[in-house]
Structure formats: structure tokens, C-alpha cells
Chains A and B, each alone.
Chain A
């Protein structure tokens, strides 16, 4: 196998456009996206190409989904959990979202997904932190630890949730 390179991602919720631009720049130098890697992307050395990259979020898609992309000139590169999909196409190909309504739905779907985690864990975090102050020693410590665990989950869902909220507001104003 050829040379490989690892490129970190800023987190798709925060740096989607920058990530895709970066992958496109690498492709011009001959580093072609091969798949996801932990917290980033794996590239393989090949021939330089003028490619554009796009990410789509869609849960439990069927074969029709991929055949539509293929027919439109977008090659499927990789997917994570049958939900996050990356495609590439020669520069100049029609974008995967051609209207604002469906583009906004892409981020609405992700926002809802994150909200499903963020809201209950926000409540759990608050409850555990409150209880840790009320309960006697050992139980208080247990409650504090549980609260911290919930807080970590809250960070990883709440921040993307806010990022999508900002993105949607920007789109709405356009």
C-alpha cells in the first residue's frame, strides 16, 4: 500500500467547510481522502486531482441514496455509523444541496439529534450537582462524579447543538 497521512478534524459541527476545503487542498497535492480516522481523516498518496468534498448527514439511508449521488457525479468515499457520509466530485459538479430548504433540513436533523442528548444530560448534570450539595458525604461524592460524567456528555452534544443553531440562523438570514 502507498503512503498514508492523518489529518485532524476540528469537529464536523464546527469546521465542516474548513475541513472540506482542507481535503480539497490535499487532493490537489495528491493526498486523497480514504476514510474517517479517529478525530480526523485518513489520506492516501495518489495522483493530484482537482476534487471538491461534501459531507451529508442522513440516518439509515438506503441504496437509492448512494445511487442518486453516483448518478449526479458524486463518488461515495466513506460513512460513519450509516449517518455521516462524505462524497467527492470533480470541481464544478452541481452541489449536493441545490436549495436552501433542504440544506437547512440537513442541519435541523443534526440539531435535533444533538438536542436528544443535550437536553436530558443538561437536566441530569444540574440534578446531580444539586444533590451533591444536599446529600451526606459518600452519596454526595457519588453524585458529584455522576454529575461530572453527565457534564462531559453535555459538552459533546450541547456545543455541536449550539454550533448548528448558529449555522441555521445564518442560513435563515441569507
Chain B
């Protein structure tokens, strides 16, 4: 396995974060891309190779799972309980990071 594997460290890359977030509701690959583009107003787009690699990785870490009623070309995924747990932890971690920045900005009068 590659070094600095963030999934193994219990942290999500930005790509994994947005994919997991869009899979709170079941979706297939193409819809995940569209969903993230719409959600972020095209500020964050995921390339197809990054998408495929990250989906496979989330699957093997059991953070997402395949939905039943399968169709090879349009596989549908949904976040697992383990995935939801990690997502919540990740949101909290990022919230605290933003709070830290806001504290500093406020005290230094940056904002």
C-alpha cells in the first residue's frame, strides 16, 4: 500500500470526503460527479480516474457498499454505517480546524 494512505489514517482526502458525502443517499458513479459539481457550484470537480480509484478504495475500506439490484454499467453505491461514522468524525475535525482559523483571524483583526 502507498505511504501516507489517508484512509488508513482515518482521514478523508477532499475527493473521498465529497464522494462519501454524496453517498449519504444511494447514487451511481456519474450522478456522484454531477452531484458534487452542483453542490460546490463547479468549484470542485473530480476527474474520472480519481473518481474510479477513490470509489474502489472506499469500497475496499467498507466505507461504502454496492446496492443490490445490480447493473454492471451503472453500479449504485451508498455509505455504510462505518462510512457515516467516519464522515461525521471528519466533519467535526474540519469544523474545529475552521474554528481555529476564525479565532486567530478575529484576535488579529484579519477578517
Q: How large is the interface on B (under 10, 10 to 19, 20 to 34, 35 or more residues)?
A: 20 to 34
CB of A55 to closest CB in B, whole Å: 10
B49/A97 in contact, CB under 8 A: yes
Residue-wise, chain B 20-35 has the 8 Å CB interface mask toward A (1 for contact) of 0000000001100100
B14/A56 in contact, CB under 8 A: no
Q: Say yes or no: A102-B48 contact (C-beta < 8 A), given A62-B72, A63-B73.
A: no
Residue-wise, chain A 95-133 has the 8 Å CB interface mask toward B (1 for contact) of 111110111111010000000000000000000000000
Residue-wise, chain B 56-89 has the 8 Å CB interface mask toward A (1 for contact) of 0000000000000000111100000000000000
Residue A72 at the B interface, CB < 8 A? yes
A64/B47 in contact, CB under 8 A: no
B15/A96 in contact, CB under 8 A: no
The docked-state distance in angstroms from the alpha carbon of A81 to that of B8 is: 30
B15/A68 in contact, CB under 8 A: no
CB of B52 to closest CB in A, whole Å: 5
A67/B50 in contact, CB under 8 A: no
CB of B48 to closest CB in A, whole Å: 4
Interface of B is mostly: helix
B contact residues vs A (CB 8 Å cutoff): 2, 6, 13-15, 29-30, 33, 45-54, 72-75
A102/B29 in contact, CB under 8 A: no
One of B2, B13, B30 near A71 (C-beta < 8 A): B30
Kindly count the residue-residue contacts between A and B in the assembled complex, taking CB atoms under 8 Å apart: 72
Residue-wise, chain A 56-95 has the 8 Å CB interface mask toward B (1 for contact) of 1010011111011101101000000000000000000011
CB of A67 to closest CB in B, whole Å: 5
Contacts of B30 in A (CB 8 A): 67-68, 71
A contact residues vs B (CB 8 Å cutoff): 54, 56, 58, 61-65, 67-69, 71-72, 74, 94-99, 101-106, 108
Contacts of A54 in B (CB 8 A): 49
Contacts of A95 in B (CB 8 A): 47
What are 22 A-B residue pairs whose CB atoms fall within 8 Å in the complex?
A58-B52, A62-B72, A64-B29, A64-B52, A68-B29, A68-B48, A69-B48, A71-B29, A71-B48, A72-B47, A72-B48, A94-B45, A95-B47, A96-B49, A97-B49, A98-B45, A98-B46, A98-B47, A99-B14, A101-B15, A102-B49, A102-B53
Q: Say yes or no: A67-B49 contact (C-beta < 8 A), given A98-B15, A99-B14.
A: no
